Amino acid sequence: VRTDISTGDIARLVVEDRLWHRLSRLAEFGATADGGVNRQALSAEEIAARRQLVAWGTAIGLQPHTDRVANLFLTYRGRDADLSPVLIGSHIDSQPTGGKFDGAYGVLAALESVEAMIAGGHKPRRSITVVAWMNEEGSRFAPGMMGSAVYTGARARADILDICDHAGRSVREELDTVLRADADVPVVEKRQRPAAYLELHIEQGPILELESKVIGAVTGIQGKRTYRVHVTGEENHAGTSPRSVRRDALVAAIDIVKALQNALWDRDDITRFTVGQFTVTPNAPSVVPAKVVFSIDLRHPDADQLRPLGDAVPEICANAAGRCAVAVTQVLYDPPLEFPPAIRQKIGRTADRLDIPWMNIPSGAGHDARHLHRICPTGMIFIPCKDGISHNEAESILRSHATAGASVLAEVAFELANAV
Ligand code: HGY
Ligand code: MN
Ligand code: MN
């Protein structure tokens, strides 16, 4: 057993073919016809993918466990297993038209990192636990980052159990199904804070590619406020009801979205405003829409901008609703955050030591690292994705970049787990 701090010898034990094979294999769970994945949180596809992860982990001696919100953990026991572990991972749930790498890459590269340590007989002082967080994406059950939020105490388990998907299935029901499918995986509630958390992820933006860098040492995550807007009108006959008496929820919702777009437009294109979900009821061609429910995803890197922009949303909606009623509920308010420089600098030094071009980079996308950052020293590592495309079936990465990311993750994770 070697206990010295690795000087790149773990990186050399990362096996590109094994990592790439697993990325391709995991992408089969929920594979879509256009080359992406639809592996939604707590779905049958995700259950199958979990089983595959557990099989890969146990095959190399990792100890699997889960918790009561179906976060999945695979632990490589350290020399001093009583010490708090270093967690490394991401998520395996996807958007409905997701890519093969968002989340899954971070989990599989974490598994590869640990396998490289084991192959070289490198046993760190602290245990290293590979983690797949439940429902990061929040597309089936909103809000996202549910598993890491409950794990870190940002949300109470009781608060998420009755959240339902479009089909009316609740988190409670689906959690039961997942935990029954994993009946052979012990359910263990968190005993202690992690010593540190590292998340490797694709950038989901174009900067690394444009700057010809392979590794991003992530400085922080921009702020995000999400809302659900209910516009209520009155269904009526499309052929007989005069415009003068209509209360058309769709027309009102369009006016509201246009008013929001105008109010949130900024010259330097920093603000991110998205209406991604938009449902019309009864959604019948000859019925004046009675109800529209739509989502708002508002992001900004500056807390002093995000606050007033978000605070103005309810009034903008009310002023543009015409004769319809409108109700605006804020679903979450995550302020911008900055990761501790110490871990970020370790990432940069490791990339230098491995002779991999790197840069500091902010994250426009949200990640479970947001929640871990509140309870332990946390860092994120990015690799490029082609044209910065993500949340899209065309999402793709280079094999060499996948390996580079796993190499940096393995070295930094080992160093953190060996720190005295
Ligand atoms: O939406 C996000 O930022 C994350 O990719 N789910
Ligand atoms: Mn992700
Ligand atoms: Mn995502």
* Backbone phi, psi, residue 19, to 5°: -65, -45
What mean pLDDT is predicted for residues 99-119? 98
What mean pLDDT is predicted for residues 319-332? 97
- Provide the pLDDT for residue 5: 53
At position 307, the amino acid (one-letter code) is: R
pLDDT at 353 over 90: yes
pLDDT at 192 over 90: no
- Provide the pLDDT for residue 419: 85
- Provide the pLDDT for residue 63: 98
Model confidence, pTM:
0.95
Instruction: Specify the residue for token string 């012990």.
Output: 186
Report the C-alpha gap between 193 and 400 in whole angstroms.
34
At position 172, the amino acid (one-letter code) is: R
What's the sign of the alpha-carbon dihedral 43, 44, 49, 52?
A: positive
- Provide the pLDDT for residue 226: 97
> What residues does the ion ligand 3 have nearby, CB within 5 Å?
102
**Confidence band for 160, pLDDT divided at 50, 70 and 90:** very high
Q: How many CA atoms, within 13 angstroms, populate the side-chain half-sphere of residue 280?
A: 15
User: Which numbered atom of ligand 1 lies nearest the CA of 224?
Assistant: 3
Q: How many angstroms is it from 367 CA to the middle of ligand 1?
A: 6
* Nearest by Cα to 332 from 175, 199, 155: 155
pLDDT at 321 over 80: yes
**Bridge partners for 333 per DSSP:** 225
Which two structure tokens, joined as six digits, stand for 105?
Answer: 């890459």
**pLDDT, tens only, 14-46:** 999 999 999 999 999 999 999 999 999 999 999
pLDDT at 408 over 70: yes
Smallest-distance ligand from the CA of 138: 1
**pLDDT, tens only, 223-279:** 999 999 999 999 999 999 999 999 999 999 999 999 999 999 999 999 999 999 999
Which two structure tokens, joined as six digits, stand for 222?
Answer: 């921009």
**Bridge partners for 291 per DSSP:** 232, 281
- Could you tell which of 275, 367, 368 is best to mutate to test the pocket of ligand 1, judged by most ligand atoms within 8 Å of the CB? 367
Q: What is the CA radius of gyration of the chain?
A: 23
Q: How many angstroms is it from 209 CA to the middle of ligand 2?
A: 18
Report the C-alpha gap between 113 and 340 in whole angstroms.
22
pLDDT at 370 over 70: yes
* Nearest by Cα to 85 from 377, 307, 384: 377
* Backbone phi, psi, residue 298, to 5°: -115, 125
Report the C-alpha gap between 49 and 68 in whole angstroms.
18
Which two structure tokens, joined as six digits, stand for 113?
Answer: 């990192």
Q: How many angstroms is it from 146 CA to the middle of ligand 1?
A: 12
- Provide the pLDDT for residue 78: 97
- Provide the pLDDT for residue 143: 95
Report the C-alpha gap between 310 and 45 in whole angstroms.
36
What's the sign of the alpha-carbon dihedral 147, 37, 378, 10?
A: positive
Q: How many angstroms is it from 211 CA to the middle of ligand 2?
A: 22
At position 317, the amino acid (one-letter code) is: C
The number of residues making up the chain comes to: 420
pLDDT at 1 over 70: no
Strands (E), 242-324: 272-274, 278-281, 291-300
**Confidence band for 190, pLDDT divided at 50, 70 and 90:** confident
End-to-end CA distance of the chain: 18
Instruction: Specify the DSSP element, H or E, that contains 119.
Output: helix 104-119
Instruction: Specify the DSSP element, H or E, that contains 351.
Output: helix 341-353
pLDDT at 4 over 80: no
Instruction: Specify the residue for token string 């990015």.
Output: 382
Number of C-beta neighbours around residue 399 at 10 A: 12
**Confidence band for 2, pLDDT divided at 50, 70 and 90:** low
Report the C-alpha gap between 47 and 182 in whole angstroms.
8
Number of C-beta neighbours around residue 154 at 10 A: 17
- β-pairing, 63-66 vs 86-91, is unpaired
**Confidence band for 403, pLDDT divided at 50, 70 and 90:** very high
Residues with CB under 6 A from ligand 1: 136-137, 144, 365-366
